[in-house]
Structure 1
Amino acid sequence: MRTRFSLQLLALIVTLVQCKSNCGYQSCHPIKDGYINVHLIPHSHDDVGWVKTVDQFYYGTNNFDYRASVQTIYDNVLKAVQKNKQRRFIYVESAFFWKWWQEQNESERNQLQQLVNSGQIEFAGGGWSMNDEAVVNYQSVIDQMSWGLKKLNDSFGDCGRPKAGWQIDPFGHSNEMASIFAGLGYDGVILGRIDYEDKSIRLENRSMEMVWRGSRSLGRQTDIFTTTLYNHYDAPAGFCFDILCEDSNLVDDPYSPEYNIDVKAEEFISEHIKDSIKSFQTNNVIVPMGRDFAYQEAETWFRNIDKLIKYINNHETFEGKKYNLLYSTPSCYIAAVQKQSKGILTSPLKLDDFFPYATDPHAYWTGYYTSRPTLKRYERLGNNFLQVCKQLFALAHLPSEFEPRLDSLREAMGVMQHHDAITGTEKETVAYDYARLLHIGINDCENVTSEALSYFTNIEANDFNTCLLTNISQCALTETHDKFVVTVYNPLSRLVSKYVRLPVNGNSFSITGPDGNNVHSQILPTPIGIMNIPSGRQTSASLELIFEAQDIPPLGFKSFYVQKKNGDDVTREDLSLDFSYFNGKGVGFTIDPSTGLVDSLEMNNVLLELEQKFWFYNGSDSFMDFSSKPSGAYVFRPDTLSPIKKVSDTAAFEVYRGDLVTEVRQTFSEYVSQTVRIYANEKFVEFDWVIGPIKTEMNWPSNGKEVISRFTTSLNSESTFYTDSNGRELMKRQRNQRPSWNVTVLENESSNYYPVTSKILIRDEEANLEFAVLTDRAEGGSSLADGEIELMLLRSCVTDDQFGVNEALMEVAYDLPIVARGSHYVTLGNIESEPTIASIENEIATQKLLDSWIFLSVPTETTFADYEKAHPMQFSGLKKSLPQNVHIMTLEPWTKSSYLLRLEHVFEIEQDSTLSEPVTVDLKQDLFTSFELKSIRETTLGANQWLKDNKRLNFKSAFQSDEEDLSKTKRSNALNNEFSVELKPMEIRTFIVEVVSKL
């Protein structure tokens, strides 16, 4: 028995050693010199929701809408790949992998493990979903990539680690995503969709392959090999073999009357390969062999590919050229290009992004930047709460049994990043399901945060509540209790102050802070636009209580004891004839009383004439123009005859002026209202808008309505504006121009729209002025005339734009068109000043992305004194605030004995004379209050490989010098000493830290 056991153990060790040595580039089939090497990539593009929900796609239900079953794909691919060691296949979305993996027994898991270890199955991309790149925030992308990669790492080790991005379906591509892929340690990324005109030019000048620089600030360390598929991601026409296809199988029996392999092979080469090689820089051509939800009949696919490879490789020569077909993967293709090109690509270094994306001169996919704005806002809240949840879990050192509840929100947020989720390009029933998943995830994470707060405050965990309906001024706890406690948690790494705003039934309240002092408050009537929401609002509250929670500690909280009292402190309407409104920081605006519109803005010692109005685009329905796409979930296309109209030239308004907040409440129409607001200590003017319900005429022909907010100034912006890239670096935009080619503009509005994840701004260089609008969610935006900024808020489209959703974008809630509420935060200042306007904008964006979170509880004690004695009312997770340009981006449990810690520099190079300098953070053992660091090791961005072990394939544009930017872009040392970390502008560094609890 002992001998048999020893032999089994030895065999296992040998197998493990072999597995480790067989995956990776050594598992790639060899290419042949002097041949055109055709890399066939068997793949299935499996949307994590779209026209069916995630579960419907996985289990294969609701096949009336789409015949797809992802579990069947996994089952059948597993069997088919095992039949032939030459076969290859790639998986992409870890959400579906993990769902399947959880259902398998040990035998199936071992089979997949062996195929991964041998390199026959490779994971490409590897995120929880194939994320969008336009309307996602960088934090959420990194989170979902890291979570997917962690599952692959835990399941397969090194052999499960992706080496390439596979972004074949997102509708445009961002610089920040390129930077993220480089940070993940990937050797390249494969794209599927770029602008039709850009692609045509690249096909002509052999620049389908390029080196793409993701970050101006980080330079060459974010360079990544990039290629675009020759003909989208579907298999070549005539070579699709599945239940969703109608192409004939290949027959290679020469005695059969159905024999067709010779004709089909000739067709494959002459129609799909011969011309494509002219567009690439080496003798390697990448050919996807798949489509949406392909390989439900996996053996059929592989049998046909086997025959095609065998026939062509046996004949080799077609029209005087030699061809070598091989099963391949994205990483094997990238390695082959690197080998033959010696890492030097002749195309120019790409510095810009791939927005906007158009499929023809009249189909710009710029509508999805705004589609389903309430879901986009819900996703942003989900990210906010996920960071809070992860931090509190780590700070309280909660036991591992709480982690499944944290995972629930991690995975819901991962699904939300999918390119048919946050984009709003899904069926309405699927959008409801996404919201359902996110709701469950938030509820589950509330159990985590409540348990952590219970530990710190000595309050029962189930006594903590959050109120997510305060956006419609509804919160049962604050409306029905005469006393309650507001606990404000700050997820940022420095002190912040937060204006708390809660619906109440009561005209007077006392608020006591942790120091026992009274906190000044203000009570305002609920805005009429909120009161008039036609359905869904279930509250009797008509007042809102406002107070400032000052100096909330970093990664910490303060609690405030609120009690109703007798009196009447409600702020009444101001009927004075003074139409200028300012706070104590010199921030203010004026109203033209004849129109009710804002007519000037003042802050940072700058006065600017400003007009803000609402307009709506008449969305084209393509009536009598069936060759062009109408406005829909993806496409924004105004009607050619009557593109845009004003909602109104005037607004009825009322004023509420107070010590904490002053508000001008405007009503433009029955479906558009707005509150223009300044808080006492803020450095921005808030434009809080409420749009809807939009009533659309359904008679034919008819137009939809796409509502925008437009800011018009006197600034000379010279056709130039700037938008952020996924919440990070600014991208320069020029009207009717593209940095890479001379664009043909036939759609003036939609061709100049860009994704605005957090900020859009214009500059007047001569006047040294900058005007910016920051958003609370992703929106489409532009500057269609000098001095103007516009942002699209809500879309109602009467027809489908014919890109697969098969229903019009007409959102409904409670059987009525939806109502959307959101905020724009407007700033103004000198470009060269101290503090810089850029630093002010960064601070606002950071605080709005990771806002302080409000937890509510009902005290059992009758007085504040009794409550204070029984419960700690403040806590800080850090001993001191970090510098303004540094943020603890991630703090979360990673293994039973370690945390994942990310630090980021939040300023760009040359953005600020001081804050754009490198900074060193000392992570000494006394930085965190509830634990100390035992050890620290740096990883790649996705935390799935030690940084020292990551060796990326080197690519360079022939136009680059070897020394270019090396002084600025060389990666920081892993660690200056054991716990000291240097960060350069825009740098994100990731660590696995072992911790010892101090609790």
Structure 2
Amino acid sequence: MKTFIFSLLIASTLAQPSSRWKDDKKEKCGYGSCPVMKDGMINVHIVPHTHDDVGWLKTVDQYYYGSRTMIQKAGVQYILDSVTEALKKNKDRRFIYVETAFFWKWWTKQPDHIKHQFKQFVKSGQLEFIGGAWSMNDEATTHYQSIIDQFAWGLRKLNETFGECGRPKIGWQIDPFGHSREMASIFAQLGFDGLLLGRIDYQDKNNRFSTKTPEVVWKASDNLGNAANIFTGVMYNTYSPPPGFCFDILCADEPIIDDKQSPDYNVDRKVDAFLDYAQSVRKRYITDNIIITMGDDFNYQDANMWFANLDKLIQYANERQQNGSKFNLVYSTPSCYIRAVFNDATSKGLKWKTKSDDYFPYASDPHTYWTGYFTSKPTIKRFERLGNNYLQVCKQLSSLADLGPEDPGDLNQLREAMGVMQHHDAITGTEKQHVVTSSALDKLVKKSSMGYQNISFSSCLLNNISSCSITESSKSFIVTVYNPLSRPVTQFVRFPVLGEAFTVRDPEGKLVETELIPIADQVISLPGRKSEATVDLIFRAVDLPPLGFKSYYVKRVPGNEILKPVSKNNHENEGVKLEIDRETGMLASVTMNNITVPLSQEFLYYEGFVGDNMVFANRSSGAYIFRPYKNEAIKVTNRAKCTVYRGDLVTEVHQVFNEWTSQIIRLYREETFVEFEWLVGPLPSNGPRGIEVISRFVTNINSDSTFYTDSNGREMLKRVRNFRPTWKVHIEEPASANYYPVTSKILIRDSEAEVAVLTDRAQGGSSLKDGEFELMVHRNSINDDAFGVGENLNETAFGEGLVVRGSHYLIIGKTSIQGCDGNSVAAAERDLAQRKLLQSWSFLSFTQNLTFDEYKNNFIMTMSGLQRNLPKNVQILTLEPWIGNSLLLRLEHVLEKNEDPHLSQPASVKLQGLFSPFQINSIKETTLGGNQLLSDNIRLPFETVDDNLVRSQRYAVIEVEDDEMTINLDPMQIRTFIIDVSFS
């Protein structure tokens, strides 16, 4: 049946020359271009660079073109123009560039002769790309899927343009506010040799510098072993130049004046000052190599100012060698620095200490913990998660529908918009509907190319506020529910309607059970909501096929059987039971997976500290900083007004706490979790302090100061209150110092039970007392925290304070014991996390006045992109159009090695015959970014004090084993392939 869905396509290979994957010995880029180090000297690696934020105080275009100079004097196009000219003047000069988003915008506008010159700089190693992602992403609030995507897109652009010489080798995370372990693991899996960081906690930094351990081998995974190890260095001065040595038009430092006839001659003084600084740096590191960055935010708009002075600095400092100086200054790059460190350590038999935790939370002084941004702008964080969900759907549909050998322009726009959203400073809130899904679905649903006109598929992006014009105004419509997961799922579909009844027919024409449930009054009265809908229509889309869809025919009929309020305190479905306290209206206990846990959930808030930011003790809480005025949170209320609706599909407990906080506790049929859908805002702003709202869960769990949070949605990390694994911490801010990023999950456990909450967006969270944990859901501030934004955090919409709506998902089970379905509670959490990250996406279309039978006769109403289901512990992380007619495929094992007695075992997938629309003709395994064959990637083998394996950082290359293309996956392993396919 699949044959009539797709057009015949002649298969092609990768359409790239083999030199794309191999070192070209004629080119001197990479390590072959590095300056020669001098033995017995302290080699000072001078690294000219610019740090170009892909959006912060200005938009991307404003930064690129240099407009809005009164906000910030920054124009990226002038940087790249100027550096190109400056590199021509001296072949020893070097420069690195990081943000592919800006580079690509510049590159596409250049004439051929400039492109040719620039390519020569790359081939010679004068210009080196470092990092190479679309933007320098934040590490606290980003999800691993989005991180991988934006790296792959940036690296692909560089690879296609510059070949092997454009492939970065080093991670360069100089500005994010703390660093995650999963991010380090991703860099290792990208095939990088090292990672350089700028910001870590001030106490950690002092400790590392005093013990000469700012450079370690980061063991970034408890599951992947040596494949996730990466050499990691913390730089001495973050990423700025030494004091007095900023030679940019944005700086006021004096230049190097070498005319001895001038009264302002200063060579000796400047060189003395620089070498004193270099000596201070040298005392903190163990090899004879130090790195000194020469650049800052949006520097080099007039590159000649920098290079003219650096030329002199290098010349006159090196002349001191004749008088016994041990410092040798060279133009260098981060890659050359790390290679020199490796060579030096290897020749001296040095072994590196290791690190296996992360660099969170980040504090810059005793009262300044950068933990507020874990939650700041919560709606944008949710938009990002929805954007990733939609992007994966787009990429899958584009691959399955065979839209052509070229990337659809709309798909590329969405890729790039999502790349910008990962940036570490200002995540854009623009949500733009793209048309690629409509084109793909239109092709997939047609039974022939003749007959009815194209179907337009759209999404209800305002469904979050219970508003959707199609469902509210149409007498009949089609709901097509696409499942992006690799196994069948059941999804509850809900849309706002005006109160009339509807019939829903599945693809076989069978009537589907429906319910109408009132929309909460607090939602109906949301600022800016223009919908007239008063109820939600709910139905259950059962067994949606993997990478496939089902279409449902929805028709308005007479009647309005809306659920009525009931009076009951105990509420249950097939696997969960809730007890609501009759007196307070608050949750009292939860029974799930055959275990009952006394559990309450309540809303509280911290008052933000207000100060003038002139000294540490007067730091304000703001967009970056969470600093409560008092460390005890204040309860919103002790009791809630409750209204309960009980149906066969769903039970809802509507709670109202006060005029700006409400919630729906929801149980769906046959779902073993509890949803807490909260609505917070507008926050009160007439008091002297800001409001930082939390949802707190209180249990009888004996958690012993310990809780667990995820790292970028992947591996879990143990957190201990008032403790750091690598140094003895002194804490003066007991609340904010114990906050950690929660990208997707936080949990506590004891020997009997585990209680976990999954989030629908990144948030800050903590366990400040045993048996309880909290998540910050919304916040505002009265003062700026003086870290550059220049304004207080007070988001508004429709002339009022911002209202935020979101969900938490509660799971309870026996610790390390199989649940009622035979799987562990950890496996249940992983399953739910996957279903909420990549939710089945509902598309709406008009029936074109067709009856159900007429629609079914002319359009396909169910389709699966897979011939068979994948194992429960395996997910297709990526399926997207790639280069030419190839596709990029990533498979991931979604469990850790000790989470489940069965599902944590290795898994196997046979790729041949797996996909319905196409056959795989050939397969090539690559590094995580898809820009280098895995067999070609051999990383620098840094030896550690606790590991003598010389190949400790080399990928384990596992070949495709047989004609069936069997792929084996260990726990948490991701494998990436470029596949050449032919469509049926």
Normalised to the residue count of structure 1, the TM-score between the two structures is 0.94
User: In the alignment, is the contact (CA less than 8 A) between 2:481 and 2:840 conserved in 1?
Assistant: yes
- Residue of structure 2 equivalent to 1:582: 572
- Residue of structure 1 equivalent to 2:924: 937
Whole-angstrom distance in 2 between the partners of 1:511 and 1:738: 55
1:896 is matched by which residue type in structure 2?
G
1:397 is matched by which residue type in structure 2?
D
Whole-angstrom distance in 2 between the partners of 1:402 and 1:287: 41
In structure 2, do the counterparts of structure 1 residues 154 and 965 end up closer, same or farther at CA, with 3 Å as the change threshold? closer
In the alignment, structure 1 residue 647 sits paired with structure 2 residue 633: no
User: In the alignment, is the contact (CA less than 8 A) between 2:446 and 2:858 conserved in 1?
Assistant: no
SS at match of 2:891: strand
Identity across aligned pairs (percent)?
51
- Residue of structure 2 equivalent to 1:838: 826
In structure 2, do the counterparts of structure 1 residues 970 and 51 end up closer, same or farther at CA, with 3 Å as the change threshold? closer
2:365 is matched by which residue type in structure 1?
D
User: In the alignment, is the contact (CA less than 8 A) between 1:904 and 1:988 conserved in 2?
Assistant: yes
Identify which of 606, 615, 630 aligns with 2:620: 630
Whole-angstrom distance in 2 between the partners of 1:706 and 1:206: 39
Deviation at 1:960, TM superposition (A): 2.1
Deviation at 1:242, TM superposition (A): 1.2
- Residue of structure 2 equivalent to 1:567: 559
User: In the alignment, is the contact (CA less than 8 A) between 1:70 and 1:296 conserved in 2?
Assistant: yes
Deviation at 1:232, TM superposition (A): 1.2
In the alignment, structure 1 residue 328 sits paired with structure 2 residue 332: yes
CA RMSD, Structure 1 to Structure 2 (Å)? 1.8
User: What is the count of residue pairs matched by the alignment?
Assistant: 955
In the alignment, structure 1 residue 305 sits paired with structure 2 residue 325: no
Cα deviation 1:134-163 (Å, max 9, x = unaligned): 110000000000000000011100000000
Comparing 164-173 with 866-875, greater Cα deviation is found at 866-875
Whole-angstrom distance in 1 between the partners of 2:492 and 2:309: 64
Identify which of 397, 406, 410 aligns with 2:402: 397
In the alignment, structure 1 residue 858 sits paired with structure 2 residue 851: no
SS at match of 1:996: strand
- Residue of structure 1 equivalent to 2:476: 483
Whole-angstrom distance in 1 between the partners of 2:763 and 2:521: 25
Identify which of 247, 251, 258 aligns with 1:245: 251
1:997 is matched by which residue type in structure 2?
F
In the alignment, structure 1 residue 380 sits paired with structure 2 residue 385: yes
2:244 is matched by which residue type in structure 1?
G
Deviation at 1:861, TM superposition (A): 3.9
SS at match of 1:44: coil
- Residue of structure 1 equivalent to 2:272: 266
Deviation at 1:413, TM superposition (A): 0.2
In the alignment, structure 1 residue 610 sits paired with structure 2 residue 599: yes
- Residue of structure 2 equivalent to 1:725: 711
- Residue of structure 2 equivalent to 1:794: 778
2:603 is matched by which residue type in structure 1?
F
1:792 is matched by which residue type in structure 2?
M
Whole-angstrom distance in 2 between the partners of 1:346 and 1:781: 36
SS at match of 2:600: strand
Cα deviation 1:891-946 (Å, max 9, x = unaligned): 0110222000000010111111111111111001x211101101000011000011
- Residue of structure 2 equivalent to 1:10: none
Cα deviation 1:550-578 (Å, max 9, x = unaligned): 0000000001111111122111111x3x3
Comparing 846-855 with 906-915, greater Cα deviation is found at 906-915
SS at match of 1:238: coil
1:309 is matched by which residue type in structure 2?
I
In structure 2, do the counterparts of structure 1 residues 69 and 905 end up closer, same or farther at CA, with 3 Å as the change threshold? same
Cα deviation 1:826-875 (Å, max 9, x = unaligned): 00000212310001000000000000000001102442122211111100
- Residue of structure 2 equivalent to 1:96: 102
In structure 2, do the counterparts of structure 1 residues 956 and 779 end up closer, same or farther at CA, with 3 Å as the change threshold? same
In the alignment, structure 1 residue 160 sits paired with structure 2 residue 166: yes
User: In the alignment, is the contact (CA less than 8 A) between 2:606 and 2:628 conserved in 1?
Assistant: yes
- Residue of structure 1 equivalent to 2:738: 752
User: In the alignment, is the contact (CA less than 8 A) between 1:90 and 1:123 conserved in 2?
Assistant: yes
Whole-angstrom distance in 2 between the partners of 1:810 and 1:317: 60
Whole-angstrom distance in 1 between the partners of 2:614 and 2:317: 44
Cα deviation 1:760-813 (Å, max 9, x = unaligned): 000112xx2100000000000000001101000001111100101010010011
Whole-angstrom distance in 1 between the partners of 2:709 and 2:322: 51
User: In the alignment, is the contact (CA less than 8 A) between 2:499 and 2:516 conserved in 1?
Assistant: no
2:629 is matched by which residue type in structure 1?
D
User: In the alignment, is the contact (CA less than 8 A) between 2:368 and 2:627 conserved in 1?
Assistant: yes
Whole-angstrom distance in 2 between the partners of 1:639 and 1:385: 40
1:557 is matched by which residue type in structure 2?
F
- Residue of structure 2 equivalent to 1:284: 289
Identify which of 530, 534, 551 aligns with 1:538: 530
SS at match of 2:40: coil
In structure 2, do the counterparts of structure 1 residues 686 and 325 end up closer, same or farther at CA, with 3 Å as the change threshold? same
In the alignment, structure 1 residue 601 sits paired with structure 2 residue 590: yes
In the alignment, structure 1 residue 697 sits paired with structure 2 residue 707: no
- Residue of structure 2 equivalent to 1:136: 142
Cα deviation 1:167-206 (Å, max 9, x = unaligned): 0000011111111000110000100000000000000011
1:421 is matched by which residue type in structure 2?
A
Whole-angstrom distance in 2 between the partners of 1:378 and 1:473: 16
Cα deviation 1:464-502 (Å, max 9, x = unaligned): 111011000000000000111110000000000100010
In the alignment, structure 1 residue 435 sits paired with structure 2 residue 439: no
Whole-angstrom distance in 1 between the partners of 2:729 and 2:322: 40
SS at match of 1:718: coil
User: In the alignment, is the contact (CA less than 8 A) between 1:935 and 1:995 conserved in 2?
Assistant: yes
Whole-angstrom distance in 2 between the partners of 1:880 and 1:31: 57
Instruction: State how 1:13-24 maps to structure 2 within 5 Å.
Output: 20-24=26-30
Whole-angstrom distance in 2 between the partners of 1:977 and 1:89: 46
Instruction: State how 1:599-998 maps to structure 2 within 5 Å.
Output: 599-622=588-611, 626-628=615-617, 629-640=619-630, 643-697=632-686, 702-765=688-751, 768-831=752-815, 832-833=817-818, 834-924=822-912, 926-962=913-949, 971=956, 973-978=958-963, 979-998=965-984
SS at match of 2:49: strand
Whole-angstrom distance in 1 between the partners of 2:252 and 2:955: 53
In structure 2, do the counterparts of structure 1 residues 455 and 176 end up closer, same or farther at CA, with 3 Å as the change threshold? farther
Whole-angstrom distance in 2 between the partners of 1:863 and 1:587: 40
Whole-angstrom distance in 1 between the partners of 2:376 and 2:439: 32
Comparing 737-746 with 614-623, greater Cα deviation is found at 614-623
SS at match of 2:971: coil
In the alignment, structure 1 residue 74 sits paired with structure 2 residue 68: no
Whole-angstrom distance in 2 between the partners of 1:212 and 1:380: 28
SS at match of 1:957: coil
Instruction: State how 1:200-215 maps to structure 2 within 5 Å.
Output: 200-215=206-221
1:238 is matched by which residue type in structure 2?
G
Identify which of 360, 370, 387 aligns with 2:375: 370
Gaps in structure 1 of 5+ consecutive residues: 1-12, 423-433
- Residue of structure 2 equivalent to 1:412: 417
Gaps in structure 2 of 5+ consecutive residues: 1-18
In structure 2, do the counterparts of structure 1 residues 694 and 68 end up closer, same or farther at CA, with 3 Å as the change threshold? same
SS at match of 1:90: strand
SS at match of 1:313: helix
Whole-angstrom distance in 2 between the partners of 1:671 and 1:449: 42
User: In the alignment, is the contact (CA less than 8 A) between 1:886 and 1:904 conserved in 2?
Assistant: yes
Whole-angstrom distance in 2 between the partners of 1:155 and 1:814: 45
User: In the alignment, is the contact (CA less than 8 A) between 2:227 and 2:952 conserved in 1?
Assistant: no
In structure 2, do the counterparts of structure 1 residues 240 and 910 end up closer, same or farther at CA, with 3 Å as the change threshold? same
In the alignment, structure 1 residue 548 sits paired with structure 2 residue 540: yes
